[in-house]
Amino acid sequence: MQIKSAEFVMSNSDVAKCPKNRLPEYAFIGRSNVGKSSLINMLTGRKSLAKTSGKPGKTQLINHFLINKNWFLVDLPGYGYAKVSKSAKKTFQKFITQYFSLREQLVSAFVLVDIRHDPQPIDLEFMQWLGENNIPFSIVFTKADKLKPKAIENHIEDYKTILLETWEDMPNYFITSSSKDIGKDAVLSYIDELNGN
Ligand code: GDP
């Protein structure tokens, strides 16, 4: 898929205020600093559509971007940032839960995890919650340029081992690097396919 246009539409913390039309949407979520903004910028070919920042935990809103005038890319807040207060965490959980539970036009989520780390409880718990709530998701491994192919393979195997303890299949997954422009076509083709093209 060629990205011909990518426009910021709105930011809010209330799912009821998200765009009312029924365009298919794809939500990107992961731990703060996982490389989500960089990935969104790589996918859309825009240098600063999503803000990349050295300050984890800053974007605490649901951000809608309209792509090619026919689908939404949704940038959700990063989770698991230690310095966010308890009440901020609760608010976050509430609106993220509402987003996933109520947003009928959500086709699939993309859960980003940093390929360098062993599977982390917070990511596994989130995937578990998505699975239990029948919310389709793929895993996007980020920062693949930081590891050698063998190490990448090993980390993916670790995920498989853990996830297959609970689920019959390993979710669809993508290996990406925003600095080396890896994985863009695979993710965009997948979205294109889900959009029925
Ligand atoms: P976000 O908080 O999840 O939106 O993460 P950002 O996109 O702001 O990236 C967090 C940090 O990781 C920044 O310092 C980025 O330069 C770095 N980063 C993001 N993607 C990559 C990648 O693919 N490779 C490498 N080496 N660094 C990356």
Tens digits of per-residue pLDDT, 144-164?
Answer: 999 999 999 999 999 999 999
3-state secondary structure of 189: helix
Closest atom of ligand 1 to 56 CA is 2
Q: Of all protein residues, whose CA lies closest to atom 12 belonging to ligand 1?
A: 35
**Nearest alpha carbon to residue 177 among 22, 34, 57:** 34
Given this model, what pLDDT does residue 82 score? Answer: 58
Question: Which pLDDT score, from 0 to 100, does residue 103 have?
Answer: 96
Q: In this predicted model, what pLDDT tens digit does every residue of 62-85 receive, in sequence order?
A: 999 999 999 999 999 887 765 667
- Give strand pairing partners of 74: 27, 64
131 C-alpha to ligand 1 centroid (Å): 27
With 0-12 / 13-18 / 19 or more C-beta atoms within 10 angstroms meaning exposed / middle / buried, residue 118 is exposed
At 47 the pLDDT is: 86
Structure tokens given for 80: 């698991």
Counting residues of the chain whose pLDDT is more than 90, the rounded percentage is 78
Q: Is the CB of 34 under 6 A from ligand 1?
A: yes
What spatial distance separates the first Cα and last Cα of the chain, rounded to whole Å? 9
Calculate mean pLDDT across residues 29-48: 94
- pLDDT for the residue numbered 196: 94
Residue with CA nearest ligand 1 atom 22: 143
ipTM above 0.90, yes or no: yes
- Segment 35-60 shows an average pLDDT of 80
Mean pLDDT of the region 92-97: 83
Q: How confident is the model at residue 51 (pLDDT cuts 50, 70, 90)?
A: confident
**What proportions of the chain, in percent to the nearest 5, are helix, strand and coil?**
35, 25, 40
Domain boundaries, the chain: 6-194
Q: What distance lies between CA 119 and its chain's CA centroid?
A: 16
Q: Is the CB of 116 under 6 A from ligand 1?
A: no
Give the pLDDT confidence score for residue 91 in this predicted structure.
74
pLDDT average, residue stretch 56-62: 66
Q: Does residue 5 register a pLDDT over 90?
A: yes
pLDDT of residue 108: 98
* pLDDT > 70: percent of the chain: 94
Q: Is the pTM of this model over 0.80?
A: yes
The reply to whether CATH 3.40.1390.10 applies to domain 6-194 is no
